[in-house]
Amino acid sequence: MEEWLLYVIIAAVVVLASSWFLRPTKAAPVKAPVAGVKAEKAAAATKPKKEFYTAEEVAQHSSGDDCWIIIEDKVYDVTSYVNEHPGGDAILNNAGGDSTTGFLGDQHPIERVREMIEEFYIGKLQK
Ligand code: HEM
């Protein structure tokens, strides 16, 4: 092979290789906000501002992504806490209904959970 042809091939390989290494890379993706913070903000934004709720209204919120519970005639929107609950889906046993018995069960250190639940209070149960 002609010597000059060899140089041309080597030069071509060097150019191709360096253009591969110097190619523009994708910009780092913008970090999504932490899910919990997002859920809290969403909950705060949609927090209903009524004094009383009927049992029928509470019953409309009976799923893992929209969960209200009644404890001692008070209504709590615990939606943002469902995925953080150390007791898992047990919090959904009476979603949309009266959860007093479950909440006051032996599994809970009662002083602590009584403080925690106040964050989720939205109103009283209409009797
Ligand atoms: C409403 C019905 C609820 C039921 C049936 C329920 C059930 C349970 C169960 C079975 C556990 C034990 C988990 C384990 O040790 O493996 C647990 C733990 C816990 N739950 Fe609930 N839960 C309910 C609501 C709530 C609510 C509304 C809160 C707070 C706002 C809460 C806070 C906690 C905490 C902090 C623990 C960990 C306790 C500890 O071991 O220190 N729970 N729950």
Query: What's the Rg (C-alpha) of the chain?
Result: 29
Contacts of 19 (CB under 8 A, 6+ apart): none
Q: Which helix (H) or strand (E) holds 5?
A: helix 3-21
**Domains delineated in the chain:** 52-125 (3.10.120.10)
91 lines ligand 1 (CB under 6 A): yes
Neighbouring C-beta atoms of residue 28, cutoff 10 Å: 6
- Given a cut of 80, whether residue 28 has pLDDT beyond it is no
Confidence bin at 22 (pLDDT 50/70/90): low
Model pLDDT for residues 55-90, shown as the tens digit of each residue: 999 999 999 999 999 999 999 999 999 999 999 999
CA of 91 to the centre of ligand 1 (A): 7
The answer to whether residues 81 and 95 touch, using CB atoms and an 8 Å cutoff, is no
Query: How confident is the model over 91-127, as pLDDT tens digits?
Result: 999 999 999 999 999 999 999 999 999 999 999 999 8
Q: Closest ligand 1 atom, CA of 78?
A: 27
Tell me if 95 CB under 6 Å of ligand 1. no
Question: Which residue's CA is the closest to the ligand 1 atom numbered 10?
Answer: 87
Cβ neighbourhood burial of 83 (10 Å; 0-12, 13-18, 19+): middle
